[in-house]
Amino acid sequence: MDLSPLAAGTAALAPAVAVVAAARSLWSPCGLSMLTSINPVAERSRGHRYPVTAGWFLAGAVLGGLGTGTLAAGLAAVVRWTGLPAAWSVVLAVLVLAVGAAADLGLPGLRLPTLPRQVDEQWLRRYRPWVYAGGFGVQIGTGLATYVMTAAVYGTVLLAALTGQPWWALAVGALFGLVRGLAVLLGAAATDPARLRRLVAAVERRSGSSLRAAAAAQVVALAGLAAWCLAPGQRGAGAAVALAAVVAVTGLAGMVRRPRPAAAHLPTGAVAVAAAPAAPVPAGADLRP
């Protein structure tokens, strides 16, 4: 990429923020529906093979991510065409991260737009695995077609665009979709209703901490970008990779960390449905405590 040393910081942060945003999106209603709808128990009840269905979901998610990446690439082309100075792109990146972190931390009066929409659970009954799994993957993989669970999703698009590098922006979108798609593999170990119930309970218990982790990652990204600008002698490929790694690890570590013990109850019916041969788990089943 033909980047100035100043703009390289934004380019390094875009994929890191994309990973954090995609991981946090697991806690959307669609993410939980995906766990209860595409797993060994539910697929076996429908007479399908889980690895194949999961593969279709992953492929669809990457395709959806490429769709969002195309949007970011178009914006990046506009940034490149206008000749936006690197200093201004960094200032805008700082604003994007600051607003995103504030929104995720629940700053009063700051609420970002979202689309309260879920995938259609009727697809599970009407279509073959490649249709419903691939279709669900595309919608979830875009990050923008259903519930948006963190401002980092918008930050991903804007940071990728501010690089002024269309191909890099497209790659960032694909990475977002890939991480969203890989979430389906969390259900691989849920080979019976009890394990599925424990999995969803464990995921749900981390809902609050996952949002705080996403906010923390954006704060770290903001601080890292500021340090990048103030320490010109330390800019380089190694520093860029280290900055991206710190942001990604900050977000992911906070999401997988074991939360404080709390009573959690999941309706057994939500998982028992998956065990019944004639009735797969509904995609919109509410599995929250």
Q: 175-198: per-residue pLDDT in tens? A: 999 999 999 999 998 899 999 999
Task: List the Cα angle 62/202/276 in 5-degree steps.
Answer: 80
Percent of the chain scored above 90 by pLDDT?
Answer: 56
Instruction: Return the top range by mean pLDDT from 2-16, 39-53, 230-244.
Output: 39-53
What was the pLDDT predicted at 179?
97
Characterize 202-215 residue by residue with b for buried, 16 or more Cβ atoms within 10 angstroms of its Cβ, and e for exposed.
ebbbbbebbbebbb
Q: Which range (77-81, 133-137, 236-240) has the least confidence?
A: 236-240
Rounded-to-integer distance, Cα 179 and Cα 18, Å: 9
Is the predicted pLDDT of residue 222 greater than 60, yes or no?
A: yes
Query: Please, what is the end-to-end C-alpha distance for the chain in angstroms?
Result: 47
- Of 77, 33, 10, the closest CA to residue 244 belongs to 10
pLDDT band per the 50, 70, 90 thresholds, residue 122: confident
129 vs 3: which has the higher pLDDT:
129
Q: 253-287: per-residue pLDDT in tens? A: 889 877 665 444 444 444 433 444 434 445 444 44
| Average pLDDT value for the chain | 84
Q: Which range (68-72, 119-123, 258-262, 283-287) has the least confidence?
A: 283-287
Helical packing angle, 207-230 and 152-162, nearest 10°? 30
The residue ranges of DSSP E strands in the chain, in sequence order, are none
Please give the model's pTM, rounded to 2 decimal places.
0.85
266 vs 220: which has the higher pLDDT:
220
- Of 140, 185, 189, 172, the closest CA to residue 66 belongs to 172
Neighbour tally for 277: CB within 10 Å = 9
Tokens 């901490």: give the residue.
Answer: 209
Tokens of 28: 């959307």
Q: Span 24-37, mean pLDDT?
A: 89
Domain chopping of the chain, boundaries: 5-258+271-275
Characterize 241-271 residue by residue with b for buried, 16 or more Cβ atoms within 10 angstroms of its Cβ, and e for exposed.
eebbebbbebbbebbeeeeeeeeeebeeebb
